[in-house]
Homo-oligomer: A and B are copies of this chain.
Amino acid sequence: MSDTAGQSLGLVEPKSVSFDETLRLESDGQLNGYTLAYETYGDLNAQHSNAILVCHALTGDHHAAGYYDDSGKSTGWWDNMIGPGKPIDTNKFFVVCSNNIGGCSGSTGPSSINPESGKPFGTDFPIVTVKDWVHTQAQLSDYLGITQWAAVVGGSLGGMQAMQWSISYPQRVRHCVLIAAAAKLNAQNIGFNDVARQAIRTDPDFCDGNYYQHETSPSRGMRVARMVAHITYLSEDMMGQKFGRNLRKKAKFDYEFTPEFEVESYLRYQGDAFVNRFDANTYLLMTKALDYFDPAAETGNDLTTALSPATADFFVASFTSDWRFAPERSREIVRALQSNKLNVSYTEVACPQGHDSFLLEIDDYTRVLRAYLNRVARRLDKSATGARE
């Protein structure tokens, strides 16, 4: 726990910036202008060399750290990692996190009003990809005056964005931190995503994606989607330790369809909570972006070639109990980076928490990440400007 010692950022405020120009997307779709919601923590130094971009995962957003009020319910999703004295130390770094387009937390997404129709985009919102997100994040970087990131950091789908940054904008990434990531989804991953999508899209309240106008939402489908996803975020062992076959505050079975086991209550609770905080069309888009990500597809399925533009130093971390993106998926990335003669630090953290580990306070994990970012901070002093080394 000492490794996540440090203070909270306290009250933070979301910001937003709008770009007027037409954004052409990888899917051939386009947005006639768009808004990015984002937050920043810490101070940008005079050389503009101490900025870290944090990329969020499937259901995250720009509110990565601090809180909006004293309710205790508005804490950022990576508050344990970001703050003064924390592993991503805002005493040293200027930290930026934006909500991806297609999102539902302030950036332009399916629930935003389509200026052309005056109604929410719904399913008229185009498919967006990891490449598109990185492109919009680069526009945000320009706006913020950040020529080169000291580090681009992400876990899971966020790690895919960090990887894409190292390929699309090698000169703008000095260090690249990939946590619990993969270079592409496998068939099982895609299968689970499609289960979620089918649950949502076949919910009668989905209304072909235009549920906003009907003042409803596909909450049944979203609930099921979240329940199944949640199982894949945990490990079998962790679920065994946490729930086992424990019954809900009773000694005997009721032999009814009400939840008998604690694990049923837990998953249903997670499903219900998700329905209230997330937009279904956004969830569909985010899972599609996961499916499509595969930089090696453009280089004859050779990941080494796909990563050959990269010049950053890399930190790669995986978790032994993560079966969604197992350590072997990270090792595949590490081998490709090493084949490109890049500097790579790799750590495989032994822990039972599964894929969710990247969000948690796990000593071995936070210690190595802190140490790595301390090195990044020390190198800032040697860097006169934000230019390439």
Binding site for B on A (CB under 8 A): 26-29, 123, 126-127, 184-188, 190-192, 194-195, 197-199, 201-204, 220, 223-224, 227-228, 230-231, 234, 236, 239-240, 242-245, 253, 255-257, 259-261, 263-264, 267-268, 271, 284, 288, 291-292, 294, 297, 323
Report yes or no: B195 in contact with A227, Cβ–Cβ below 8 A.
Answer: yes
Report yes or no: A239 in contact with B29, Cβ–Cβ below 8 A.
Answer: no
Report yes or no: A187 in contact with B271, Cβ–Cβ below 8 A.
Answer: no
In this complex, what residue of B is CB-closest to A201? Answer: B257
Report yes or no: A194 in contact with B239, Cβ–Cβ below 8 A.
Answer: no
Inter-chain CA distance A199–B225, complex, in Å, is 9
Report yes or no: B202 in contact with A263, Cβ–Cβ below 8 A.
Answer: no
Report yes or no: A199 in contact with B224, Cβ–Cβ below 8 A.
Answer: yes
Inter-chain CA distance A185–B284, complex, in Å, is 31
Partner of A255, one of B28, B244, B257: B28
Report yes or no: A224 in contact with B202, Cβ–Cβ below 8 A.
Answer: yes
In this complex, what residue of B is CB-closest to A285? Answer: B257
Instruction: Tell me what chain A mostly uses at the interface: helix, strand, loop, or mixed.
Output: helix
A16 to chain B, nearest CB (A): 27
In this complex, what residue of B is CB-closest to A242? Answer: B187
What are 18 A-B contacts defined by CB distance under 8 Å? A28-B255, A123-B257, A126-B255, A127-B256, A186-B244, A186-B245, A188-B236, A191-B230, A194-B259, A194-B264, A194-B267, A195-B224, A195-B228, A198-B271, A202-B223, A228-B228, A245-B294, A253-B292
A385 to chain B, nearest CB (A): 39
Count of chain copies: 2
Max chain B C-beta neighbours (<10 A), residue from A194, A260, A263, A264: A194
In this complex, what residue of B is CB-closest to A199? Answer: B224
Which residues of chain B are near A234, meaning CB under 8 Å? 188
Max chain B C-beta neighbours (<10 A), residue from A28, A223, A253, A268: A253
Inter-chain CA distance A297–B251, complex, in Å, is 11
A197/B257 contact (C-beta < 8 A), A187-B243, A245-B186 known: yes
Report yes or no: A199 in contact with B199, Cβ–Cβ below 8 A.
Answer: yes
Report yes or no: A255 in contact with B202, Cβ–Cβ below 8 A.
Answer: no
Report yes or no: A194 in contact with B255, Cβ–Cβ below 8 A.
Answer: no
Inter-chain CA distance A268–B224, complex, in Å, is 16
Which residues of chain B are near A228, meaning CB under 8 Å? 192, 195, 228
Report yes or no: A184 in contact with B245, Cβ–Cβ below 8 A.
Answer: yes
Considering the complex of A and B, which 9 residue pairs feature the smallest CB-CB distances, nearest first? A27-B255, A187-B239, A202-B220, A127-B255, A187-B243, A187-B263, A194-B264, A188-B236, A199-B224
Inter-chain CA distance A328–B257, complex, in Å, is 30
A261/B198 contact (C-beta < 8 A), A203-B220, A245-B294, A255-B27 known: no
Which residues of chain B are near A195, meaning CB under 8 Å? 224, 227-228, 231, 267
Report yes or no: A245 in contact with B194, Cβ–Cβ below 8 A.
Answer: no
